[in-house]
Each structure stands twice: as structure tokens, then as C-alpha cells.
Structure 1
């Protein structure tokens, strides 16, 4: 199953691709990734005001345009192609989707309009020092505030996407009834944010230390919390997969274009059988990745969270497949792109290395391909389901 793209979808794709080619070429990407913010605030504002990208996948009653996972996936695919440093993944795909499917009208009314108009950035904080992305491994704690103002959250969160600058941090913490989602202001007392040194210069990750930070619970009550948090993490995995599919396509396009113009021994290198084989293998992996990502987006759009739903929904298997296929395809395409470019592909001036760094970094975000494979094996009955709940690093 894959979404049927309408003329409006294709126009959205084409418009965004033109916009990024004009406003975010390689030179602009490098300026942004080296800036203090890690992105261009002026471009962020234009993405909101001129294209409406920030509210595209959010409900109309909260200032959005009523789109869903499919529309969001198209945007992320194009952003992945361009390697654009921006808080879009963290704000719209992570925080925005978590709020949109929460069923919490108070939380949605409070934060979604500001996300939709670009005045608020957000993120999701799940993993901790263990490196696990599994909700059951969360050790950060939440206790009721003595003054009745909400809750107080304490603990450490690692690898938080754009956590150094997010205005709103959605923290997964363990309450008396089990893990829940809590909203914390990025500048609240008791919140210490530290930017991490990472492989990928185009995406900022942060460590967040919470010491009794004031927080508000978000989402359903205890009975449906497990299914809700699983939905949030599955949506995050699918969003990242769409971005990876776009990056893989960019690597394939760059490799093919270079193979056509690079002449060696009096003929284009693309005419050599070995290079043809490399490009053909890249194409197969990229097409498979795109199919897996589109399938997962379609499942997310057509299978909304239901009250009383089990923690493993149809989306879980689709997300695991997309995570594996897209991560493998992006890394493979990024490596082969460098190989086909030869010596120039290894230089700082060329963008090939930026794609490889993004691909390797994204492999570990929200769980490695190996852990998604283990989870998928449990979901389809190859192994016992409990075998997927191990505590391996990166386990989603």
C-alpha cells in the first residue's frame, strides 16, 4: 500500500524543490550549519510565511492546513535532498505530531497554533544515557508539584534533536502510573541544555539535564499511555525515513550526473561497466527505500490512534521496515556517491561527505537498523515478541 499522489502533492514537491534550490543551495547550507543557531531564522520564517510548511500537517482548528503524514513526508523528503539545517524535523515531525495525536485538546490549543505560525520551535526528548529509544527504559522521573502547578521532572535526556534551542521540550518521563509525556519550557528553571559534538554538522543534538523542572502532562490518561507513546515514536521513525529517502535520492542523482561528465581514458566514467553496476544497485536500493517510506506514510495516514489500542499497531511494522530500508539505502548511496566521485568526493568543499555524515548519524537516531530488524522479527512472529524488548543500545 502506498499513497496516491494528487496534482496538489506533485505541485507541493515541485514548489518546495525550486524554493530550496533558490534559497538553500550548498553555500547557504554551509553557512547555516556553522552559525550559532545551527539554522537560518530568516529562511525558517519564509518557510512558514511563504509556503505554510510549518502548519501543513497540523489540524485546521489549530492554525494548520489539515494535512497529515503523507504531506509531511513529502516535505521531509525534499528537506533531506537539500540537507537543509532547520528545526523542521524536531518541531513539526516530532513535537507537532506528538501533540496532534495526543487527544489532549488543552495541550493542542496551547502549543499547536504557535508551531503552525512559526513562532514556537519544539522537540521530543526520549533517549537517555543508556542510548536506548525504548519507552520502557526511561528513568527520568516526574512527581506532582507541591504547589499544584503541574509536575516536576528530573533526569537526563540525550541526543535531543535541536534541543539546544527548542522553545518547547516534550519529555518522556516516568510518573507514578508509568511513562508519560510532559511539556517543559526550554528556558524553564531547572533545565540545563548542552550542545553535543556530533558527526553530522547539519543537525544539532543536545543533552538536556532536568532538575525539578516544571512540566505539564500531555496526552491520554494512564490506560492509553503506552499506545500513545508508541504512536509518537513510530511517527518519528517514519518521518526520519522519509528524510533519509530524500537524501538517498540526492546521492544517486549526484553520482549519475558526475558519471556522465567525468572523462577518463577518453570516455565518460559512466560508460564503464563497474560504474554502471554501482549506479544500478543504488537505484534499486533508493526505489525500495522510497516504497517503504511511502507505505509507512500511508499506514500512518489511514490508521489513526484508537482508544484502547494495543501498544503495537499496524504502523509499528511499517515503521520498522521503513527504518531499515531507508537507513541502509541512504548509507549505501552516500558511500557509493563518494566512490564514484573519486578523490574530489573526499574533500571538504564537496557535499558528498555531508550526506555520508547525515546518513551515518541518522542510522542511530530513533534506533539502529539492527534493532529495528529485531523488533520487526518479533512483530511478524519470527521471534518471540518479548525478544524485541531487550535493552540493546538504540532499541526503539
Structure 2
């Protein structure tokens, strides 16, 4: 791994930081949060039109730029630094990869170019507060999180040859404003329950959406209610063998694969926010005077900020490595052009089913030797929480006020821990997947 940034990556980050400085300052940020959508459409248009962020990690064949996930993660470090509210996470990190992995040729051709251009926003809707579970970040995503075939969750059934959805999903990222919903629902009833993904346009009859009050206003959430709502299955209507595209096993594997990438991107985003919170604190203690000298000159304050700096830098290293590991094939493996007889190499979690890519190309999946994105996200969330807490503490009384930015970073840390964590569950699941705490074999002659 080469930790240095390329000239393109460095230029992209500088351009994005300047754009966010001009379009997403403290005043503009608060004004965007008060809008019905919870974000500034003008900023989203600039991110898409000037920098092409929505299509950064999508193939060129579908209007994207074709960059690795690493470049998207580095960009999200800058959006996290500014706490920029936008559909980038829901659309580009969660929804678009699922359409790419599971959609039919017609679905990908119809949706991906619009997602890449930013003309279409999308999100992943799962029941309850189960997003981290659905993505395989905090426990195995076997399917029970979507209702398990019992009452609750979202159910899908065939009515007169069309799919109809019934149920509710809360705490959906941009669920109140996204143009397209990818809804996780159970099919087959209790006896043959399985999870499938369905496409539901935002203006579909029977779909009711409302914005929810969220702890972190920079991460808008919505509640989605479906009452006899017509939907289109994402993928082929009749799946082939287990693990094939569109099958229940393939859907769960695709969600877990997307979860790895999302965790790496979120880790970089949290590191960017933590670094900015630390910068604000260092600037303040360098100006604020107490007893005739700046409080930053006191050794106790210096020690506290030094500890935060070390934690943030360690989390940044872990986040960068996770982004590189998710976005690059293992050493000795390469990506061959997609075509007749070609092979596309993808990374996946140990034990997960392969996710075939639709079309004439074959797929060879290489297991990642160890889960890295979950622990990196845990370290980044803890670094952000520590940096934000110290920012509030060292700013004194003003750090607790609504007018100061410190509380926004603290709420981002707490909100992300609720949505994608908490940190101890991320680490526990990563340890389970890696087999770190496998039971020791019983001594000879002793039954277990």
C-alpha cells in the first residue's frame, strides 16, 4: 500500500474543500438544515456538475468516472469535515452499488446514468433501526432484520402479476426526499421467507413519507410507509441457483459487500469531521486568554489535545487502509476488462456468498483475509466522539450553545454511532468474522 496521495486525488480534495468552503459555511449549513429536504439542492448540483462525485466510483459504461472506492472515501473525508448535508451517502455509497450489483441490464441502463449525473437521488430503506445489521456491520445479515416472515418489517406479495409492498421503514437516510427507494422486503411468507430488494419511485401511489426529527440534523432521516404500494423487483424475477444475482442469498451477499465499502467511506468521513473539530479547538485555545496567557499554553490543555491528535491520526491511518483494502484487489490479482470470457474480481467478507455481475462476464470472488472496514469505522467514530467532546469542554460555556459548531460535530458522532454502530458492536462482529474468539478444542478424552 502506498499511503501517499496521487496528484489527481490531491487536486480533487483541494477543489472539493474550496467548493465546500464557498457553498457550505456555518450560515449556509444551518439554512440548508431548515429546508424540507434537509440539504441544499444547489450544493448537490455543484457536487455533481462540477466534481462528478455521484458517479465517481461508477463504471464509465454507465456515465461514471470509474475511480476506485478509495477516491470516493477521500472525497467523503472532505464532506465530513464540513458536515455537508447531501444525498451523497444514501445515493452513491448505498443505493448505486446495489443497483450495479443486482439490477438487470435494463435497470442498470435506466438508473445508473441518472444516479451518476446526480439527476436522480436514491436511498436504501430497511425496517426499523436495522441499517447496520442489513449491511452486515454489527452482526450477520441473515434476513431476520427485515421481519423474518412474521408481522412487522416490510412484506412483499404478488398480486395480479405485480409486486405489492406493505409495512413501514423508519430512520431511512433521506427517506423523505429521495427520488427512488430501494426497499428491503420479505417474500414467501413465514415458511419460505427471504429478503429481496424492490424499486419504488418517490411518487408511487400508496407511498407515504415524512421527515423525522433526528439527533443529527445534518444526517436527515425519514419514515416510509407502504400500503399496497406497487414495486419493481431489483434483479431478475426468477432467480437461478443459490447465490445468483437477484436471489435471496445474492441480495444478502450484495448488502454485506456494500456494507464493507460504506464502512470504509464512513470511517473517512468521520475522520474528516474529527480533524475539523480538533482544528476548531486548537484555534480557540490559541486565542482565548486566562490569567494573562492563552489557555493553549497550559500544559494540561496541551496534553489533552495531544491525546486527541494521536487518536485522530491513528483513526485516519485505519480509515485510509480500509478504503484501500476495499477498493483494491489482493496482491497478484487484477481486474480484466468486462467482456466475453472476462473475469471480474471483487472482494467480499470471509464466508459470504459471491455476487455475480450480470452479463456475459464471469465472476471470481477473492476472500478478504480479514475484515478491516468495521474496526476502522469503530476507531473513527470513537475519535470523532473524543474530538467533539474535548471541543465542547475546552470551548467552555460557548461550546454548549446552539450558535457554536461544536455541538454539530458531537451530534454527528452520536448519530452515526446509533445508525452504524456502536463501536463495540462493530469490533465484536469483526472479531467474530475473523474467528479471533473461536472456542478452544476440548482436551483428548473430554467431551465438549
Helix, strand or coil at the partner of 1:188: coil
- Alignment map for 1:362-381 (pairs within 5 Å): 362-381=416-435
- Alignment map for 1:118-267 (pairs within 5 Å): 118-128=118-128, 133-134=133-134, 135=141, 136=143, 137-139=145-147, 140-149=153-162, 151-176=163-188, 178-219=194-235, 220-222=245-247, 223-267=249-293
Q: CA deviation at 1:4?
A: 4.6
Indicate if the aligned counterparts of 1:227 and 1:310 stay in contact, CA closer than 8 A. no
Q: Which runs of 4+ in 1 moved over 6 A?
A: 306-309
Q: Does 1:311 align with 2:363?
A: no
Distance in 2 between the 1:365 and 1:182 partners? 22
Which residue matches 2:312?
286
Q: CA deviation at 1:103?
A: 6.2
Q: Does 1:52 align with 2:60?
A: no
Cα RMSD (Å): 2.3
Q: CA deviation at 1:132?
A: 6.7
* Long gaps (5+) in structure 1: 386-396
Which residue matches 2:338?
none
Q: CA deviation at 1:89?
A: 1.1
How many residues are paired up?
Answer: 384
Distance in 2 between the 1:306 and 1:353 partners? 37
Indicate if the aligned counterparts of 2:154 and 2:169 stay in contact, CA closer than 8 A. no
Which residue matches 2:322?
296
Indicate if the aligned counterparts of 1:170 and 1:181 stay in contact, CA closer than 8 A. yes
Distance in 2 between the 1:130 and 1:88 partners? 20
* Long gaps (5+) in structure 2: 135-140, 148-152, 236-244, 330-344, 354-366, 440-448
The 10-residue stretch of structure 1 (328-337 or 217-226) with the greater mean CA deviation from structure 2: 217-226
Q: CA deviation at 1:99?
A: 2.1
Q: CA deviation at 1:315?
A: 8.4
Distance in 2 between the 1:203 and 1:21 partners? 19
- Kindly provide the CA deviation profile for residues 51-94 of structure 1, in whole angstroms up to 9, marking residues without a partner as x: 22222221111111111211111111101100111111111111
The 10-residue stretch of structure 1 (46-55 or 134-143) with the greater mean CA deviation from structure 2: 134-143
For the pair shown, the structure with the greater C-alpha radius of gyration is 2
Structure 1 residues 11 and 90, CA, compared in 2 at 3 Å: closer, same or farther? same
- Kindly provide the CA deviation profile for residues 107-135 of structure 1, in whole angstroms up to 9, marking residues without a partner as x: 22121111111211111112426787343
Indicate if the aligned counterparts of 1:224 and 1:309 stay in contact, CA closer than 8 A. no
Indicate if the aligned counterparts of 2:77 and 2:273 stay in contact, CA closer than 8 A. yes
Helix, strand or coil at the partner of 1:54: helix
- Kindly provide the CA deviation profile for residues 210-231 of structure 1, in whole angstroms up to 9, marking residues without a partner as x: 2232222225132533321211
Q: CA deviation at 1:283?
A: 0.8
Helix, strand or coil at the partner of 2:102: coil
The 10-residue stretch of structure 1 (129-138 or 119-128) with the greater mean CA deviation from structure 2: 129-138
Structure 1 residues 310 and 148, CA, compared in 2 at 3 Å: closer, same or farther? farther
Distance in 1 between the 2:88 and 2:132 partners? 23
Helix, strand or coil at the partner of 1:332: helix
The 10-residue stretch of structure 1 (183-192 or 211-220) with the greater mean CA deviation from structure 2: 211-220
- Kindly provide the CA deviation profile for residues 278-303 of structure 1, in whole angstroms up to 9, marking residues without a partner as x: 11111111111111211111121124
